[in-house]
Structures are given as structure tokens and as C-alpha cells.
Amino acid sequence: MTVRVAIAGSTGSIGTQTIEVIRAENDRAPGSYAVTALSAGSSVDLVLAQIDELRPDVVAIADEDARREVAARTTGVTIVADSADVIDVADVIVNGVVGFAGLAVTVGTLRAGKRLALANKESLIAAGPVVQPLRTTPGAELVPVDSEHCALHQCLRSSSAPDREVARLLLTASGGPFRGRTEDDLAAVTVESALAHPTWAMGPKITVDSSTLMNKGLEVIEAHELYGTPYEDIDVVVHPQSVVHSMVEFSDGSTIAQLSMPTMHLPIGYALGYPDRIATPFGRIDWTTLGSLDFEPPDRSTFRCLDLAYAAGRIGGTAPAWLSAANEVAVEGFLSGKVRWNAIADVCVEVLERHDGAIPSDVDDVIEADQIARRIAERIVEQQ
């Protein structure tokens, strides 16, 4: 049976790698997957090339001018504005949109009772209390694509107990490009150096988040939302080689880890094939050349964003939405030269200090929280 896949954010790092996995699987077993829908922000030429190759039924383009241009240059494809309109024509929806813009796809997919292959962590972090109940929609299934959460998902399959017998989740972090540097060293880092990730090639927002350890902090909240593990039982360990993707320590003292060379093709293929494993191998380890695997604690005082995320997660309600929105604004400010790298954490601290304590009861509340936090963050950025 052909699995119909919609790729939201098809022109990005996750989106293009999803297409590579599907190409490889279809080369091995023709007709395994059909890409029935795509969505993108504004990358006209790339999305046109993808339409030409994959012949989807529906393509969503967020940017109005780009949408008009794509519509004018294609035939036989329904062109729409809203990313969430890709859901109807697919069995599995890969959410590779970046940032809060991914919320509609996350919510719409779970509400439609379909499989969500979730790379867009921001939607789960911002809207955790609203997304949780949707996971019980008949047919709805959330399989994480983030490599750490995919690793945890695989490790947790080793227990059939209702509580999974978990003592601790251990998220690994590469440490990013600035591992080992002091706050003084980092006073004047350039955008170029923040984008030079040592082990992963990703989109710009998540790459900057990796440099500040905000990405790991957001992943702590993501792990809490996905697996219900209390924050005090989620730890972070720096592992510069990015071969151990995360670990679960069980109640009897055993630790189970998932290993592969760093590639997103593996977690994407896992989410597409689940509960089976795809037959195309990605990230196989050559143990004769692997060398050593190192582990060290994170530097929590230089990389303040990690503990900020723990704090926002523990506050709960809309605090993670506020943190995520503040971080998006600060990172955009850094990428456009308005904010120093060191000030990303300052912007997030200042925004969180003004959190109004709200608890979201629906998607509109989450959108409102995002907008309030964004406005506060934008004002702070303008004053930098």
C-alpha cells in the first residue's frame, strides 16, 4: 500500500531531507510513498522543482506574491495559502515548518486523527496544554522527528510497562560551535560563527538555537510534553560527537541509548515507517573508525538559555509559548544584526519576567500569548 505523505516546510532542511528519504525508499521498493502535498513559505524556484518531480495534488505557499507566482507557473496542482490545507490529502504529515508558524499543521493533523511526524518542536512547546488532549483523537499519532526524541522513542519501546519504568531521560547535546568558550569570549561572536555547527547541517534558526543551548532547553520541554516525564527527571549531557542521540535510564539502573552517525534521514525514516523500520539504512556506524565517545556536563552559566527553558517549562501554562516567541524574535534580531549573541538570553529573561501567568485553554489563547510575548520582545530588541 502506498503511504501518502504531506511535507509542510518542504523547501527547508527537514523538508528536503524528507524528499531524499522518500526517493531512497521508492528506489528500493517503487510506490512505497507518494508525496501528495507540499507547503513552503516563499521559496518559489525550489518548490516549483519539487512540484515538477513529485506531482503533488496540493501545494500551500504562505507568502502571497510567491503563491501567485507558483500558481502562474504550474498546472494541475491546487495552490492554497494555508499550510494546514495539506492535511486532507495525506496519511502522514511531516511538519518541517520552522517556528510558531508550524502550529496549524500540528493541531490540524492531530485533530484530523492522522500521523504527525513532528520536527517543528516550537508548536508542541508553545501549545503543549492544547496539543495534549488532541493526541487522544482516534487515529492521531505523534512520532517525533527531532533526533533526540526519536532516540527516546526508540529506547522507550524496550519497556511494555504503562509507566515505561523510566528513572531518567538523558538528552544529549553536541554543545554547538561555542562549547568550551566563556561568556567573555562570546561577547562579539558573528552570525557566521554561530551558523557553523560542528556536527549538524540545519536551518538558520535551529542552528543559532544550538549555539545558545536554547535548542536543548526547548527539547527538554518537548521531552516533557511528549513523554510526561517530570522536569527533575530530564537531564542534559554534552556529547560532542553526536553519535549517541539520547538515552533512557530505567528503574533498575540500566541505561539504553540509540546510536547512529548524525543524520536526520534516520529519524525522518523512522517517523515515516513507524511502527516498522524502513529498509534503507541511514547513519550506519563504522566501529573501526568511530573512535571515542565523550560526555561532559553542560556549562549552564555561559549558556543561560538551557535553564531558562527549564524554568519556563516548570512555570507551565503559556510560559513556554512566551519563551519560544521571545527566542524567535531575539534570534531573528541576531541574524539581522540588531542583537548581540549574548543578548539573546537577556531578551528571553526580560520577556519571561513579564509573563502574565495565563493558562491557555484553546489555540486562540496560544496565538494570543505568542503575540503578546512577541510584541514585548520586539520592543526590547528595538532598544538594543
Ligand X SMILES: NC(=O)c1ccc[n+]([C@@H]2O[C@H](COP(=O)([O-])OP(=O)(O)OC[C@H]3O[C@@H](n4cnc5c(N)ncnc54)[C@H](OP(=O)(O)O)[C@@H]3O)[C@@H](O)[C@H]2O)c1
From the list 89, 126, 136, the residue with the least C-alpha distance to 104 is 126
Residue closer to ligand X (CB basis): 200 or 358 = 200
Closer to ligand X by CB, 119 or 173: give it: 119
| In the complex, minimum distance from the CB of residue 101 to ligand X, in angstroms, rounded to a whole number | 4
Nearer to ligand X, 174 or 250 (CB): 174
Q: How far is the CB of 38 from ligand X (least distance, A)?
A: 9
| Residue 82: CB atoms within 10 Å | 14
How far CA 50 is from CA of 39, 54, 210, 214, 226, in Å, comes to 10, 6, 29, 32, 32
Q: Which is nearer to ligand X, 43 or 302 (CB)?
A: 43
Cβ(233)–Cβ(313) below 8 Å: no
Task: Kindly state the cell numbers that stand for 6.
Answer: 504531506
Give CA–CA dist 64/152, Å, rounded: 39
44 versus 377: smaller Cβ distance to ligand X? 44
Residues facing 115 on adjacent strands: 92, 141
The contact set with ligand X (CB under 6 A) reads 9-15, 39-43, 62, 83, 96-98, 101, 119-122, 146, 200, 202-203, 205-206, 264
C-alpha grid cell for residue 15? 523538508
Output the smallest distance, CB 264 to ligand X, in A. 4
* Nearest distance, CB of residue 246 and ligand X, angstroms: 12
In the bound complex, what is the minimum distance in angstroms from residue 161's beta carbon to ligand X?
29
| 82 vs 346, beta carbon nearer ligand X | 82
Cell, residue 39: 507547503
- Min dist CB 135 to ligand X, Å, is 18
Cα dist from 235 to 9, 224, 249, 285, whole Å = 30, 11, 10, 25
CB of 353 to ligand X, least distance (A): 25
Residue nearest to ligand X (CB): 12
84/250 with CB nearer ligand X: 84
| Distance of closest approach, residue 120 Cβ to ligand X, in angstroms | 4
Q: For ligand X, give the closer residue by CB, 14 or 110.
A: 14
Other residues' Cβ atoms within 10 Å of the Cβ of residue 30: 9
